[in-house]
Amino acid sequence: MKVDYPTLAKTIAALTEGETDAVALMATIVCEVHHADDRFDWTGFYRVTEPGLLKIGPYQGGHGCLTIPFERGVCGACARTGQVQLVPDVDAFPGHIACASSTRSELVLPVRDARGAVIAVLDIDSNRPDAFTPTDADALQAILDAVFANG
């Protein structure tokens, strides 16, 4: 099963219309994204809860790390730089945090509010190497921007 991004975007837009609570939005998005593609082994949000610190938010899959400092791992790099992190081989990423030993590749996207501040990251792990493409990153970033940055 491979994700149909136009349908996913429409579904998420319909489900989140009018909702302003960030956690409710994250829970809905993560459920839809996780079940949209069998490459997505773990899908979840890490929220910026204080300067330089991410805490786990809504997710689907096995347990995740509870906290991640901005200085560590793929999620930290995304939060710190505000840039998408597309990692084809997590073992080759300096400082990768192995929350699950099955993770082989990872895609992490910044979540920005209407002011442009990074409020969270969306982390998608796959148990397959090189599972994600720039197309995945662009489509998912557009969904996140439509939901969170336009509020």
Mean pLDDT of the chain: 93
Q: Is the pTM of this model over 0.75?
A: yes
pLDDT in tens, 13-49: 999 999 999 999 999 999 999 999 999 999 999 999 9
pLDDT value at residue 140: 98
pLDDT for residue 100: 64
Which residues fall within 8 angstroms of residue 68, CB to CB, at 6 or more apart? 46, 53, 54, 75, 76, 79, 97
Domain ranges in the chain are 5-149
**Percentage of residues in the chain having pLDDT higher than 90:** 83
Give the pLDDT of residue 93: 75
Return the pLDDT at 39: 94
Q: What is the pLDDT of residues 79-128, one digit of tens each?
A: 999 999 999 988 787 766 666 667 889 999 999 999 999 999 999 999 99
- Residue for token pair 């300096």: 94
SS3 assignment for the chain? CCCCHHHHHHHHHHHHCCCCCHHHHHHHHHHHHHCCCCCCCEEEEEEEEECCEEEEEEEECCCCCCEEECCCHHHHHHHHHCCCEEECCHHHCCCCCCCCCCCCEEEEEEEECCCCCEEEEEEEEECCCCCCCHHHHHHHHHHHHHHHHCC
pLDDT of residue 91: 75
Write out the CATH class of domain 5-149. Answer: alpha beta
